[in-house]
Amino acid sequence: MVNSRGNERGDNGYFYMKYAEMDDYIDQILVVYDSDDTENFNRLLYKTKILNVINTLSEQRQYANEDEKKALNFANTMLRKVVFKQNHQYNMDKKDLIAFINKYFN
């Protein structure tokens, strides 16, 4: 892959990754194989849009009351765990998730 940081980085401007690992890193890198690679481009666009949602949720927490903050954190946790398979530092723990679900969905 072409390294966007120039020829001084990587192997004269290139870096390498196993194809099998791309799924794990697609949310952290911008990868399009070629202009006709619409499937991977759309997949990349999907991951980018999910990241935008996560960023919006995080930014809006400052305006929320305590229950709304928990709801925003719940959504952030679910997106990170399900879509990106991440264990983010602000993810709700299992006890808090169950308490939140029981409070609003029972």
40-61, pLDDT tens digit by residue? Answer: 677 777 877 888 898 899 899 8
pLDDT in the model for residue 106: 81
Residue with the bigger pLDDT between 48 and 82: it is 82
Ranges 23-27, 36-40, 84-88, 92-96, most confident? 92-96
- For residue 62, CA distances in Å to 22, 56, 67, 78, 96 come to 34, 11, 12, 20, 20
What per-residue confidence (pLDDT) applies to 63? 95
Predicted local confidence at residue 85, as pLDDT: 81
In the predicted model, what is the mean pLDDT of the chain?
A: 78
pLDDT at 12: 77
Q: How far apart are CA 72 and CA 43, in angstroms?
A: 24
Average pLDDT on 62-77 reads 91
What would the mean pLDDT of 80-98 be, rounded to a whole number? 81
